Structure 1
Amino acid sequence: MTGQGQIGQAKFGVVTDGGLDAYAELKNSVPIAPFSVNFGSVSRRTHEISREDLLRELASNPEHPTSSQPTPQDWADAYRAAGTPEVLAVTISAGLSGSRNAAEQATQVMDGAKVTIHDSRTLSAAQAFQVHAAVTAAERGESLQTALEWMKAVEQETELYFTIETLEYLRRGGRIGRVQATLGGLLNLKPVITVDKASGTYTNLARVRSYRSAIEAIATQITARYGEGTPLRLGLLYGSEQADADALLKAVQARHPVVWAGVAGVNPVLNIHTGPRTVGIAAAPGAWPWER
C-alpha cells in the first residue's frame, strides 16, 4: 500500500462521537460530538461527568439515567473543530443510536466543508480501532478513499465482545424485556454479547452461570473466531473493576500471542446501559491492515 511509513500532508480531518472508548496508545485524539447522560432533569455531557462520578450516581441516585445522542449542532461543532476543508466523520453504529442521523443533518449547515460520514457499525473499542485507521491514513497523506478502505478492513476483521454482571440496567433502560431480565436474574445467567456485523446491533452469543465463566466464555469466542495461536491486537474495557480486564487479558493470552493490548474504562454513556460492572474486548488478528 502507498504511504507506508511516510508522513504526508493531511488531506482531511477525522471526527467521531461519544460512542468511542479511546486508547491513549492509539490515534484516538480527535474532535468528538458528545452524548449526554441525563439524571431526571439534570443533563451532563459525557466529558463533563467522570467515570467515578457516574458510578457514585448509579449506586445512590434512585432515578435511572438515560442517554441522549449528539445533536446536529454538536456534530457541526466537531466538523469545525477538525479545521480542514474535508472531514471524515466516524459514527457509532446506526443500529444502536441515532447519532449518524444527527451527523447527516449537521452537514446541511457546513458551507464550504465537505463531510463524508462512515458508519462504524460498532462502538467502543472497535470504533476506536476504526478511528485509529482513519487518523493513520490522514497523517500519512493518504486519500479519504484509502482511509475508508482501511476502516472497512478493520471493521471486517475486528470483533467486540462484552459481558455484564447484572441485566438490571439493560432492563431499566428498556434494552431488554422484563421477562427476559427476570428470568436471567433468577437463574443468575451472565450473557456474552457481540455486535452483529450485518445489522450493527447487539446479539447474544451465550449465557453462562457466573461472571468469571463469562470472562472465560469471551476468550473461547475469540479463539473460535480467529483460531488458537493466532496473534491478536486487543482493546480491553472495564467498568467498575479494572481487575476484570486483567483477568480477560490473561484468559486470552493462554491461547494467543498478544502483539498489542490497550486498556480503557468504559465511558459514562455506555456504562449506564451495562451497569457498573462490565468487561469487554475488541479483538483483531496480527498487524494492522496497512502494515502487512
Structure 2
Amino acid sequence: MVTFVTDSGYDFPKLKLPFELKILPLRVYVGEKEYHDKLNIQATDVYKFQREGSLPTTSLPSPESIERILREASQNSDRVYVLTISAKLSNTHDVVKSMVSEMKLDNVKVLDTKSACIKQGYIVWRAMLHYQKYGELSQEDIDNFNKEVLLLFLVPTLEYLQKGGRIGKAKALIGRLLSIKPILTVDEQGEVSSVATCRTIDAGVKMMYELAQKFLREKSLLDNFVTVGAYTVPSMKLPVDNLAKKFGRRFIDSTTIGSAIAAHVGPEAFAIVVGRGE
C-alpha cells in the first residue's frame, strides 16, 4: 500500500486519485486565534477578516498534526511520499523532513513540489500517475514535472503581497496609483515572480490565455495538455469560467483556493495551471 501526503497549500479539483492522499493543515492566525486551513477557515473567511481590517497570517502545520499523520501513514503503508509546498515559500518542507528523520520513519520520503496552490495539486497528481506506472518517485521526477507546467495567478491588488512581505512598499504604492494588477507565477525553483501586468481583469484573462498558449507551444504540448482553474471567492469564479471556455475540453475543472494561500494573495484572486496531460 502507498500513501501520499501533502499540506493544505495544495488545491485541486475533486478528481478520483489513484492513491490515498492525506492533508497536513497549514495554520492561519487572526489576532491571537488559531485556525486550521480548510478545516475551520476558508478563503471567504479570510476575505471577511481582510475587509474588516484584520491581517491574517500563516504558519506551517502544527508538529502534533505532522507527527500524528505521518506516523499513522507510516504504520499503515509500505511507502509514504510527502510532497510539500515549495521550501522557498514555507518552512513546512524542512520541518517535515527533520521530523521524519527524528521519528526514524524509514518508509517515508519527503519531496519538495517547488510549487503551491493548483500547481502543487498538479504536481501531486502527476507524481501519483508516475508512481502508478513506474513504482518509484524521486525529487528529479518532481523537478521534471515542474518543467512541464505553468501556474498563472492574477492578483487584483498588491496590498496583501506587500503586507505579507512579498514585495516592497514602493512597488505596492506604484501599483495602486497605476491600477496595475500583476500576473504572478511560481517558477521551477519554487519562488514567486511576476510575468506580466494588466489594468483590468478582462485584459488579464486575455493575457493569461496568451501566456499559456505560448508556454504550450514552447514545450510542444499543444496536443497533450490539461488545464485547471482556481479562485478565492465566488466573484472570482467568472474570469476562471471565461478561461475555461477558451480552453474547451482541455479544461478539467476549477476549485476554490485555501485560506492560507488567500491570506497572502488577497481576497480577490484567481489562477490557472496548464501542464502536460496523462
Residue pairs, 1:116-135, within 5 angstroms = 116-135=109-128
Match of 1:108 in 2: 101
2:239 equivalent among 240, 244, 268: 244
1:224 equivalent among 214, 237, 241: 214
1:21 equivalent among 11, 16, 41: 11
| Alpha-carbon distance in structure 1 between the residues aligned to 2:105 and 2:212 | 45
| Alpha-carbon distance in structure 1 between the residues aligned to 2:9 and 2:145 | 17
Contact 1:130 1:155 in 2 (8 A): yes
| Cα distance change on mapping 1:29 and 1:277 into 2, 3 Å | farther
TM-score (norm 2): 0.88
Match of 1:144 in 2: 136
Q: Aligned with 1:219: secondary structure? A: helix
1:75 equivalent among 51, 66, 69: 66
Match of 1:7 in 2: none
**Residue 178, structure 1, aligned to residue 169, structure 2:** yes
2:180 equivalent among 186, 189, 201: 189
State the one-letter code of the partner of 1:236: G
State the one-letter code of the partner of 2:136: L
Match of 1:3 in 2: none
Residue pairs, 1:198-277, within 5 angstroms = 199-227=189-217, 230-231=222-223, 232-240=225-233, 241=235, 242-250=237-245, 252-253=246-247, 258-277=249-268
Match of 1:5 in 2: none
Residue pairs, 1:27-106, within 5 angstroms = 27=17, 30-46=21-37, 47-60=39-52, 62-82=53-73, 83-106=76-99
| Alpha-carbon distance in structure 1 between the residues aligned to 2:70 and 2:186 | 27
| Alpha-carbon distance in structure 1 between the residues aligned to 2:166 and 2:143 | 28
Provide the aligned C-alpha RMSD in A.
2.3
Contact 2:60 2:90 in 1 (8 A): yes
Q: Aligned with 1:175: secondary structure? A: coil
State the one-letter code of the partner of 1:126: K
- Of 75-84 and 276-285, the range deviating more from structure 2: 75-84
Gaps of 5+ in 2: none
| Alpha-carbon distance in structure 2 between the residues aligned to 1:149 and 1:173 | 31
Contact 1:16 1:30 in 2 (8 A): yes
| Alpha-carbon distance in structure 2 between the residues aligned to 1:80 and 1:136 | 24
Contact 1:58 1:276 in 2 (8 A): yes
- Deviation readout 1:41-76 (Å, 9 max, x if unpaired): 01101122133333222222x221100012443322
| Alpha-carbon distance in structure 2 between the residues aligned to 1:78 and 1:136 | 23
TM-score (norm 1): 0.84
Gaps of 5+ in 1: 1-9
Structure 1 residue 86 displacement after superposition: 2.5
Q: How many residues align?
A: 269
Q: Aligned with 1:130: secondary structure? A: helix
Q: Aligned with 1:234: secondary structure? A: strand
Identical-pair percentage: 25
| Cα distance change on mapping 1:282 and 1:29 into 2, 3 Å | farther
Structure 1 residue 262 displacement after superposition: 1.6
Q: Aligned with 1:57: secondary structure? A: helix
| Alpha-carbon distance in structure 2 between the residues aligned to 1:175 and 1:131 | 25
- Deviation readout 1:101-155 (Å, 9 max, x if unpaired): 11112113434542211111111111111212333455x485233x766544432
